[in-house]
Amino acid sequence: MTLDENWFSETHQDMAFSLRIRGKLHEEQTPFQKIEVYDTVSFGKLMVIDGCVMLTDRDNFIYHEMMAHPVLFAHPNPKNVLIIGGGDCGTLREVLKHDCVQRATQVDIDERVTRVSEQFFPQLCESNDDPRADLRFDDGIAHVKNAEPGSIDVIVIDSTDPVGPAEGLFSTSFYKDCRRALASDGLLVQQSESPLLHTDSIIRPMHDSLRAADFLDMLTLHFPQASYPSGWWTATIAAKDATVCFHREEAAEELPFHTDYYNAAIQRAAPATPEFFRRKLFA
């Protein structure tokens, strides 16, 4: 079948993911990237940055919940959270569901992503006025470099792919700065792309860089994400000085807020390691 102009397609490594569209709702070139929003027939609204799917109405809940809840329930008492990237504000909304979080600072390099999200994805931005939320528009790399040592409990790196402004967010020097900014029981989580497509090119080098930055332990979580290349995605948690474990398992069992994907059983299952992945990462 040949696709006509009524389809959006993201091509990646000689594959394509396509959604039939009713039309393009928005397009702009910011100083950092090109942002587009489409109205799709089956996945609701779709945000695209530089040709890559960022989120859809239909499946963003999986990504945002998996970026926020496993790491926050793995920390004994997360009070001060820093989100790098995340301009659509979906991860921020999930982080703020945790009553123990006293401050959630979000630092995205591109204010336009947040303004476009407020316009087209208002449900993701519904916690932006929470008094605990602090939205800043700056380079996450510089922000972490200048952060007070030992001041942050959890860093969530909700970035675009490791090209353009996000490239440095996957580097050893950035992870060293993150480690310095974290308290001794601090944790970091980063979206870590597809195990099927990026284990050699991104996930393994990310583990190597985190180790080189002296993080003591890493755990990669797996989850489905239909609208991302291959439909299978990961988030990698790294612990500054401890082993990554499910510290607040009891609290997660009695989940005190609504989710659509995350629960305690998902957190226990998500680190299960497929054989090819185990061999490539740990053999």
| Residues classed as catalytic | 158
Q: Which is nearer to ligand SAM, 154 or 264 (CB)?
A: 154
**Is position 106 an interface residue for ligand SAM (rule: CB under 6 A)?**
no
Q: Which is nearer to ligand SAM, 138 or 250 (CB)?
A: 138
**Is position 217 an interface residue for ligand SAM (rule: CB under 6 A)?**
no
Phi, psi dihedral angles at 198 (to 5 degrees): -130, 20
CB-CB contact of 176 with 200 (8 Å): no
CB-CB contact of 160 with 128 (8 Å): no
Separation CA 121–CA 88 (nearest Å): 8
Q: Which is nearer to ligand SAM, 55 or 218 (CB)?
A: 55
Separation CA 243–CA 251 (nearest Å): 19
Separation CA 129–CA 136 (nearest Å): 13
**Is position 141 an interface residue for ligand SAM (rule: CB under 6 A)?**
yes
Position among 113, 182, 189, 264 found at the interface with ligand SAM (CB under 6 A):
113
Position among 74, 84, 202, 210 found at the interface with ligand SAM (CB under 6 A):
84
- Euclidean distance between the first and final Cα of the chain, in Å? 42
> Of 4-43, which residues contact ligand SAM (CB under 6 A)?
32
**Is position 191 an interface residue for ligand SAM (rule: CB under 6 A)?**
yes
Separation CA 181–CA 107 (nearest Å): 15
Judged by CB under 6 A, the number of residues near ligand SAM is 25
**Is position 195 an interface residue for ligand SAM (rule: CB under 6 A)?**
no
**H runs (alpha helix) in 230-274:** 249-253, 264-269
**Is position 63 an interface residue for ligand SAM (rule: CB under 6 A)?**
yes
Taking the complex as a whole, the smallest distance from the CB of residue 47 to ligand SAM amounts, in Å, to: 7
CB-CB contact of 250 with 73 (8 Å): no
Residues found near ligand SAM in the complex (CB under 6 A): 32, 52, 54-55, 63, 84-88, 107-110, 113, 139-141, 158-160, 165-166, 169, 191
